[in-house]
Structure 1
């Protein structure tokens, strides 16, 4: 046995776009080497990872009938909270619930595409037997227009999940975005972790508890800060900076929303820039009040100051939270 052996990657796995689409949860795990220099691997087709219940605003919702009415009815329902930050958090929570119910009441996007294709095929087959009546011809044209809208919505759905932004608009390919989103899911998937004793943990809830305990021990408990010096005696006053403490103008906030990117990572509430742009006329008064309270120093940021701890994979196969 060499002291410093030459290591070379000998084992490769190949897959296809069709396999990724049909079996998106396929993972390959290495096993221990016993009698060969090759690493034995086992292929799992499917996992027991539960589906995330995090709300995610879908961009194609804004073009569906009833969306604006659902947002308006939910937002104007009001809130009994005392602080403006709590009011917005409460309204966003209620809006998430209402949008979920509204979306479930609609037909599935995949089913709508299949139904449109079936109708077009039936009318095309009928046209081979006899000329279509004017009503049938117009109906087919309408179905084709609806099909284009549904296909665009499906493309945007998967495009949002693959996070690849260098594809030109004229080269959209829903199947490509589907495959890339699935590849991204598999890279971010953690199949196994090792605890402090070196034992393997594969159960999803057990791994979540392991990570939660690890970060709780690292972060500890927040303590108050005691100032040991006088800032006013160290920092001299600078004149002419009154504009920095001026109240927020409604036009300034409107301009910020107009310039906001429509499809970047949303916050913990699940809403992105497109939602704010399309529904700003409905929700803006509450945000004006939030900015006013923030300027007056009467706001409670605990209601809206939430965040996620995101695990960033540094290795292809992560087994330890380090």
Structure 2
């Protein structure tokens, strides 16, 4: 999420350009520590709490929409909608990154969290029953498979097939 903002790179470059006294190893460690502190401060000032920002911007949008109805000027509404879309994109990236981080830290270990997530995904991806064309419930895996095959055969089959020789002549 941070990398999408150019201020992140500028913050990192600024910290790494500062020279420190001492042994090379200690210089690198100090730069890493200072980089972490500066990025934290930068994040607070530039991003803040995205959820709170979204709530605030949505309230502003509601007020701006009411104002636009009265005045007929919708410039502020368009501007706020763009800001909300940007914030929603940031929030989406944040949650995606958090879920990956959780999986990376917990996924390789034999934990309850890992097994519950895997079981939940299996349940969500499994089709236990389905209604066929005659509106009968199919629960057997072979019946479910046959129902899908029959549905797509019917979907992709023409009800009035015509063979036109002119069509076939144009195919090399």
Please tell me the TM-score bracket, short chain as reference. Answer: 0.5 to 0.7
How far did residue 116 of structure 1 move? Answer: 1.4
Q: Deviations over 1:239-294 (max 9, x none)?
A: xxxxxxxxxxxxxxxxxxxxxxxxxx69xxxxxxxxxxxxxxxxxxxxxxxxxxxx
Q: State which of 16, 33, 37 in structure 2 corresponds to 1:75.
A: 16
> 66, 75, 85: which one pairs with 1:125?
66
Equivalent-residue separation in structure 1 for 2:108 and 2:20 (angstroms): 35
User: 2 CA distance for matches of 1:127 and 1:91?
Assistant: 50
Cα offsets for 1:120-157 (capped at 9, x unmatched)? 111222334x2422xxx222212111111111111111
Larger radius of gyration: 2
- Equivalent position SS for 1:313: coil
Structure 1 residues 123, 68: closer, same or farther in 2, change over 3 A?
same
Residues 1:104 and 2:41 are matched in the alignment = no
- Asked if 1:312 is matched to 2:128, the reply is no
Structure richer in helix, relative to its length: 2
Residue correspondence of structure 1 range 188-227 to structure 2 within 5 A: none
Kept in 1: contact 2:64–2:76 (CA 8 A):
no
Query: Contact between 2:21 and 2:27, CA under 8 Å: does it hold in 1?
Result: yes
Partner of 1:144: 81
- Number of residue pairs aligned between Structure 1 and Structure 2: 111
Q: For residues 311 and 80 of structure 1, what CA distance do their matches in structure 2 show?
A: 41
Identify the structure with bigger relative contact order (alpha carbons < 8 Å, sequence gap 6+): 1
Quote the Cα distance in structure 1 between the aligned partners of 2:28 and 2:94.
27
2:11 aligned counterpart, secondary structure: helix
Partner in structure 2 of residue 201 of structure 1: none
Q: Could you say what secondary structure the match of 1:74 adopts?
A: helix
Residue matched to 1:49: none
Q: Is the 8 A contact 2:2 2:8 kept in 1?
A: yes
The whole-number CA distance in structure 2 between the counterparts of 1:68 and 1:90 is 18
Name stretches of at least 5 consecutive residues in structure 1 with no aligned partner: 1-59, 165-180, 185-264, 267-309, 317-322
Q: 2:97 aligns with which of 142, 157, 160?
A: 160
User: Which blocks of at least 5 consecutive residues in structure 2 are unaligned?
Assistant: 114-172
TM-score normalized by the length of structure 2:
0.52
- Runs of 4+ deviating beyond 3 Å: 63-66, 313-316
1:159–1:62 CA distance, 2 compared to 1 (3 A): same
